[in-house]
Structure 1
Amino acid sequence: MSDQPAIRRKRTPAHSKETVDLFDVAALAGVSTATVSRALNGSPKVSKTVLARVERACRELHYVPNGSARALSSRRTRTIGAVVPSIENSGFAVAIGALQRRLDASGYTLIVASSDYDASVELRQVSMLVSRGIDGLLLVGDEHAPELNALIEQQALPFVETWSLSGKNACIGFDNAVAAGAMANYLLDLGHIHIAVISGRTQNNDRASGRVAGVRQALEARGLELAAEWTIERPYRISEGRLAMRAILSSPMRPTAVICGNDQLAFGALVEAKASGLVVPRDISVTGFNDLDFAAFLDPPLTTIHVPADDIGTIAADYLLARVNDRPVLRVNEIETRLVVRSSAGPPRSRN
């Protein structure tokens, strides 16, 4: 047996091989396998120039890193999980899109699940994501099953709540009661005292319940009450907004303004008002919440509360990336909402 050290031959890319490995990528990029590994794992020690060469080599060789092996070596999967109440909700979709773009730019993959506003489903989805080894988690709201909070604490999993504020947990959101109260006060200042609310489902939904509470508080501050027959809960769909508006218009006395829990409900309310022969805002005012893309193009354009959903997603990504990489973070990131006045709300007509 020879005492001479073995000579390691430099491997050249073998495009015809059935499998491509780290050595092939390193050879084509002109760097060591260690550098390739650092580049693929997002090490800040790798320069942008070298990273570009490694990524170009991966593309040319159709090389896909072995996620399982990388997770074993780094104890990270570079995967973030997100559980939202509904994929159908345009506001959540905008936030998730911004979240994914930011994570993708940092080399992370996003897995999204929906709970359908069911705490038990949310718990099951989070358990599934944890079993897949996610590095961080995004949730919506501050109300969850106790078992979910225990699971997150047991796993020491970085997570952030969105769309509301929390007195305990990391959060990126706003005070829903204050935002809805601003809309109610705007209508009150216009002279409305007969105000109805079409809300989203409030069970397991602190955002919807907060908005109803904000309207109620604004009315009570001026000696008024929110009538039970003018407070209707519906899922966040255009068709449901129309059904709710139909119920409100069938009441013995018609309100002069309807505050909707989101723009989709308001869209349906506008459709039903028009179908009933009413002119908005001459006969009845209608407002929304979120300021989705279509809000400015409704007939009439919708007065609503603007929520920067893309900012929520982007800041959530930055927070989770910082936590995963042990960088300092702010526990509370409050997002600014604002009243957007368009043409769907005006002063009430005088009652004869």
Structure 2
Amino acid sequence: MAAGVSTATVSRAFNNPEKVAPEVRARVLATASALGWMPHAAAGALARGRTNIAGAIIPTLDNEIFAAQIGGMQSAFATRAVTLLLGCSNYDRDEAFRHAQAMLGKGVEALAIAGEAHRPELFETIAARGVPYVVTYSYRADSPHPCVGFDNREAFHRMTRYLLDLGHREIGLIVQPVAGNDRIEARVAGVREALAERGLGLRAGHVREGEWSIGFGRESLRAIMSGPAPRPASRPTAVICGNDWLAIGALLEARAMGLAVPTDLSITGFDDVAMAAQMEPGLTTMRVDNARIGSLAADYLLERLGGGTPSPVPPQVPDLIERGSTAPPR
């Protein structure tokens, strides 16, 4: 060997450095660098019977909340030399299933999957492989899956109750597509339940569902505020948005329509993206620690990989961030 040590010592220098004298390991690493050599991961996995690979399936990386979750997850896995594979489903259940199949075929040892609304075959396939997994970004006490996230229904129930306590009675709702998205379905349910507790409801013309974008937020706010209504008093005095980008669009469109926020209309978002605090007025929203969700999910899976039986992860509780976009109705 160019480093003057045995093959076994080279292996230990890379895989179990604590078993090699520091000066020997330094010589091995320097020689490997000079030769442009690195360990062959596939061969090492075959020899160890372990791949040290985990997978994560999320809807998209276009939204910073999922990027933050992946960042937290990757940092936690890196401390145990676990490589993270990433798949984006684009909110397509078939695509998510294909990603899961591909990852299992590559030998992933653990999986993190955003949300519960997937094809039954996805979870059946994971169970058949005996691979530990966790559902992220959602939580319900009666879920058959280990969850690391928050109760979406309760979060939007709380936001609706906040607006009701301010005195609002006519409320609009702009959300992402409900089909195939258990998180959004739960959020809509939370809004409806909070209103029902006060003997209220959502008017059909005050509910808009579509892509999570600033553009759709603008389009929806104009449709809600310009559409036919039984009487002027039935126009919404507050609009709840399924995320901050929809709410930012609604804020911009309210200004274009000559509506003063929050004097004429209160608007709320969700996630507390960086732009939310920079709007004028600042956006009332809910803050979720997405990076912590990622790190907690990784910690759960790492304990499972180590042969442990981790305790269920308690639901995270989003913080209600009150800013200038909400006030009592005029």
TM-score (norm 1): 0.85
Distance change >3 Å, CA 144–CA 52, structure 1 → 2:
farther
How far, CA to CA, are the matches of 2:283 and 2:99 in structure 1?
35
Which of 235, 238, 262 is 2:243 aligned to?
262
- Distance in 2, matches of 1:176 and 1:134, equals 29
Are residue 12 (structure 1) and residue 2 (structure 2) matched?
A: yes
Return the letter of the residue paired with 1:311. Answer: R
Partner of 1:299: 280
Range with greater deviation from structure 2 (213-222 or 106-115): 106-115
**1:205-257 superposed Cα distances (whole Å, 9 cap, x missing partner):** 11111111101100000110111211111111221211111211212342100
Say which of 79, 87, 103 aligns to 2:53: 79
Confirm whether residue 249 of structure 1 aligns to residue 230 of structure 2: no
1:190 to 142, 163, 166: 166
Correspondence 1:143 to 2:120: no
- Show the counterpart of 1:311: 292
Contact 2:117 2:180 in 1 (8 A): yes
Do the aligned partners of 1:179 and 1:338 also contact (CA within 8 Å) in 2?
Answer: no
Paired residues of 2:12 and 2:20 also in contact (CA < 8 A): no
Q: Taking structure 1 as reference, are residues 272 and 170 closer, same or farther at Cα in structure 2, changes over 3 Å only? A: same
2:39 partner letter: P
Could you tell me which amino acid in structure 1 is paired with residue 60 of structure 2?
A: S
Residues 35 and 180 (structure 1), Cα distance of their counterparts in 2 relative to 1, 3 Å cut:
farther
The 8 Å contact of residues 169 and 331 in structure 1, kept in 2 or not, is answered as: no
The runs of 5 or more residues in structure 1 that have no matched partner are 1-10, 14-23
Give 3-state SS (helix, strand or coil) of 1:112's partner: strand
Asked whether 1:127 is paired with 2:101, we answer yes
- CA distance in 2: counterparts of 1:264 and 1:79, whole angstroms: 34
Task: For residue 49 of structure 1, report the CA deviation from its aligned partner.
Answer: 5.8
User: Is contact 1:36–1:54 with CA below 8 Å preserved after alignment?
Assistant: no
CA deviation profile, 1:169-194 (whole Å, cap 9, x unmatched): 11101110101111101100100000
Q: Secondary structure at the match of 1:126?
A: helix
Q: Compare relative contact order (CA 8 Å, sep 6+) and give the higher one, 1 or 2.
A: 2
Give the Cα–Cα distance (whole angstroms) in 1 for the partners of residues 261 and 101 of structure 2: 47
Aligned partners of 2:285 and 2:62: how far apart in 1? 20
Could you tell me which runs of 5 or more consecutive residues in structure 2 were left unpaired when the two chains were aligned: 230-234
Which residue of structure 2 lines up, in the alignment, with residue 179 of structure 1? Answer: 155
> Match of 2:160, SS?
helix
Residues 35 and 183 of structure 1: is their aligned pair in 2 closer, same or farther, counting only changes over 3 Å?
farther
**Higher mean C-alpha displacement, 101-110 vs 253-262:** 101-110
Q: Distance in 2 between matches of 1:201 and 1:174?
A: 19
Distance 1:144 1:50, change over 3 A: farther
Deviation at 1:104, TM superposition (A): 2.2
Cα pair distance change 1:109/1:52, threshold 3 Å: farther
Inter-CA distance 154–258: structure 2 relative to 1 (3 Å threshold): same
Task: Tell me how far apart the structure 2 counterparts of residues 178 and 48 of structure 1 sit (CA, whole Å).
Answer: 55
Q: 1:284 to 1:49 in 2, by over 3 A?
A: farther
Letter in 1 for 2:2: T
Question: How far off its partner does 1:12 sit?
Answer: 3.0
Percent identity, please: 43
Whole-angstrom distance in 2 between the partners of 1:301 and 1:236: 19
Q: Tell whether 2:138 aligns with 1:157.
A: no
Which residue does the alignment assign to 1:216?
192
Q: TM-score, normalised by structure 2?
A: 0.91
Aligned counterpart, 1:104: 78
1:118 to 76, 92, 101: 92
Q: Counterpart of 1:160 in 2: which secondary structure? A: strand
Rg bigger for which structure? 1
CA 92–47 in structure 1, closer or farther in 2 if over 3 Å, else same: farther
Contact kept in structure 1, 2:138 and 2:147, CA below 8 Å? yes
CA-CA distance at 1:105 after TM superposition: 2.9
Shift of 1:332: 3.4
Superposed, 1:36-51 pairs within 5 Å as: 36-38=10-12, 40-41=14-15, 46=19
Q: C-alpha displacement at 1:203, in angstroms?
A: 0.8
The answer to whether 1:345 aligns with 2:319 is no
Q: For residues 57 and 44 of structure 2, what CA distance do their matches in structure 1 show?
A: 25
Matches within 5 A, 1:193-204: 193-204=169-180
Task: Say whether 1:281 aligns with 2:262.
Answer: yes
Match of residue 206 from structure 1: 182
Rate the CA distance shift 1:221–1:318 in 2: closer, same or farther, 3 A: same
In structure 2, the partner of 1:226 is 202
**After superposition, what is the alpha-carbon deviation per residue over 1:29-78, rounded to whole angstroms, capped at 9, x for unaligned?**
xxx6445434544x596589689848954556543210111111122221
